[in-house]
Amino acid sequence: MPVLGLTKLEAVNAMLESINQSRFSVLDSGGSWPLKTYTASIGSSAEYILDRVSRSVQGRGWKFNVVRCKAYTLGAPGVITFGTNVLAATPAGPNQFRNWAIRSDQAYDLEGDTATFATGTYHFDITTLHDFDFCPPDIKDLILKEAMTEMQRRFRGDSDADRMIKEETAKAEIRAERPKDSMNAMPLNQTPILPSMGDGGGRRGQ
C-alpha cells in the first residue's frame, strides 16, 4: 500500500540524525504493528520512542482518527466493549451530557457506578490508534517532532537543540488538521497546544 508523507524508516532516521547518529537502512524491530518487538540498538530505541509518542499524539484526537457519534447497540442489558485500538470514547449525540468513561476495554457509567448498560443504543465520539505509516502527513510531522524532542533529551540533552525542535513542533501543531466540531459539551482537541519558548534563546547572567 502506498505511504503518503514520511515512512517510519525516514522518521526513525530523522530522529537518529537529531542526536548525530548514523542512519539505518532498515528498521531494526520484529513482529507486526501493534505487537512490535524492539532490540537494544539505537535504531530500535528510536522506533520504540516513535511508536510511544505516536500513541500519545493520536490520543488527542485528529480529523483522521475521530469517528463522530458512533452507535453501540445492546440487544439485552450488558457491557459496551470497545476495540483494542480505541484511545478515547466521549459520550456524544443524545448521550453527550452523560458521565461515562472507559475502564479496561468497556464503557463505565460513573453516575450509576456500573459497567452494565440497559438495552438500547449508545453514542460515542471514538478516537482510534493507527500505525505511523497509515497516519496522514501532517500528523506524521507532528509525531516526528515530538519524538525528536524526547530522543534528543534522552540521548543528547542539548538545550539549544531542544529549543529549535520546540519551534518546529509548534509549527507542526498548527498545521495538524483537527476534527470537525460537534455538539459535544467537551470538544476534542480544537486548539493547538503551543509550547513555551522561554526567553527566546537569549543568555542570562553574561
pLDDT in tens, 108-154: 999 999 999 999 999 999 999 999 999 999 999 999 999 999 999 88
> 168 pairs with which residues across the strands?
none
Handedness of CA 43, 45, 46, 51 (dihedral sign): positive
- Whether residue 161 is predicted with pLDDT greater than 80 in this model: the reply is no
Residues 6+ apart with CB under 8 A from 115: 79, 103, 106, 107, 108, 109
Indicate if 51 and 135 belong to the same structural domain: yes
Of the chain, the end-to-end C-alpha distance in Å amounts to: 55
Which residues span the domain enclosing 100? 66-128
Indicate if 44 and 139 belong to the same structural domain: yes
- For residue 204, tell me if it sits in a domain: no
Q: How far apart are CA 73 and CA 120, in angstroms?
A: 6
Indicate if 71 and 171 belong to the same structural domain: no
Indicate if 82 and 106 belong to the same structural domain: yes
Indicate if 163 and 114 belong to the same structural domain: no
- For residue 191, tell me if it sits in a domain: no
- For residue 201, tell me if it sits in a domain: no
Residue for cell digits 471514538? 126
- For residue 144, tell me if it sits in a domain: yes
Other Cβ atoms less than 10 A from the Cβ of 15: the count is 26
Total domains present in the chain: 2
- pLDDT digit string, tens, across residues 130-141: 999 999 999 999
Residues 6+ apart with CB under 8 A from 64: 130, 135, 136, 139, 177
- For residue 180, tell me if it sits in a domain: no
Indicate if 17 and 34 belong to the same structural domain: yes
Task: Report strand pairing: 100-103 vs 29-32.
Answer: unpaired
Report the pLDDT value the prediction gives residue 205, as an integer from 0 to 100.
46
Residue 201 phi, psi (nearest 5): 95, 0
- For residue 170, tell me if it sits in a domain: yes
Q: What is the dihedral of CA 174, 179, 184, 190, to 10 degrees?
A: 0
Indicate if 72 and 45 belong to the same structural domain: no
Indicate if 50 and 151 belong to the same structural domain: yes
- For residue 108, tell me if it sits in a domain: yes
Across residues 22-35, what is the average pLDDT? 93
Indicate if 45 and 70 belong to the same structural domain: no
**Which cell goes with 183?**
455538539
